[in-house]
Structure 1
Amino acid sequence: MLIGCANYVFNRGILQNEWYSLWTQVGLFYGEFFFPVLIGICCAFLCRFEHINQNWNSILTAPVPIRDVFLAKLMMVGLLSAVTQAFFLSLYFIAGKWVGLISPFPSETLGWIFRGWVASLAIGGVQLWLSMRIRSFAVPVGVSICATLIGLGLYVNHLGMFYPYSLLTIGMGVLSQDSLAMMEHVLFYGMSGLFIILFCISGIRRLKKTDIVA
Structure 2
Amino acid sequence: MIARTSTALDTNSSSPSPLLAELLKLRRSQPLLVVIGLPLVVTGTGIINTLFSRRGLEDGWNTLWLRTVGFHGLFPLVLGVAILASLVWRLEHRDSNWNTLMTSPIGATRIALVKTLAIAGLAAAMQATMLIVVVATGKVLFALPGLPPAHLLASGTLVAVACVPLAAFQSSISMLIRSFAGAVALAAALAGVSVSLLTAKIGSISYTLPHALATRTALLGSGMFSDPSHPDMTTFGGIATTAVILTLLIVASTGRILKCRDLYT
Fold-level similarity (TM above 0.5)? yes
Q: Confirm whether residue 176 of structure 1 aligns to residue 197 of structure 2.
A: no
Q: Which runs of 5+ in 2 are unaligned?
A: 1-42, 224-228
Residue pairs, 1:102-117, within 5 angstroms: 102-106=144-148, 107-117=150-160
Moved more, 4-13 or 109-118: 4-13
**Match of residue 124 from structure 1:** 167
Identical residues among aligned pairs (%): 26
Moved more, 153-162 or 123-132: 153-162
2:92 pairs, out of 41, 44, 50, with: 50
- Alpha-carbon spacing, 1:127–1:47, altered in 2? closer, same or farther (3 Å): same
The SS at the match of 1:101 is coil
Residue pairs, 1:1-214, within 5 angstroms: 1-11=43-53, 13=55, 15-106=57-148, 107-160=150-203, 161-162=206-207, 163-173=209-219, 176=222, 178-213=229-264
Q: Which runs of 5+ in 1 are unaligned?
A: none
Equivalent position amino acid for 1:144 in 2: A
The SS at the match of 2:106 is coil
- Equivalent-residue separation in structure 1 for 2:232 and 2:153 (angstroms): 17
**Match of residue 37 from structure 2:** none
Moved over 4 A (4+): none
- Equivalent-residue separation in structure 2 for 1:212 and 1:202 (angstroms): 19
Bigger radius of gyration, 1 or 2? 2
Deviations 1:170-211 (A, max 9, x none): 212268251224443343223222221121011100111232
2:82 and 2:167 in contact (8 A); partners too: yes
Aligned residues: 214
Equivalent position amino acid for 2:213 in 1: L
1:122 and 1:193 in contact (8 A); partners too: yes
1:116 and 1:168 in contact (8 A); partners too: yes
Offset of 1:134 from its aligned partner? 1.0
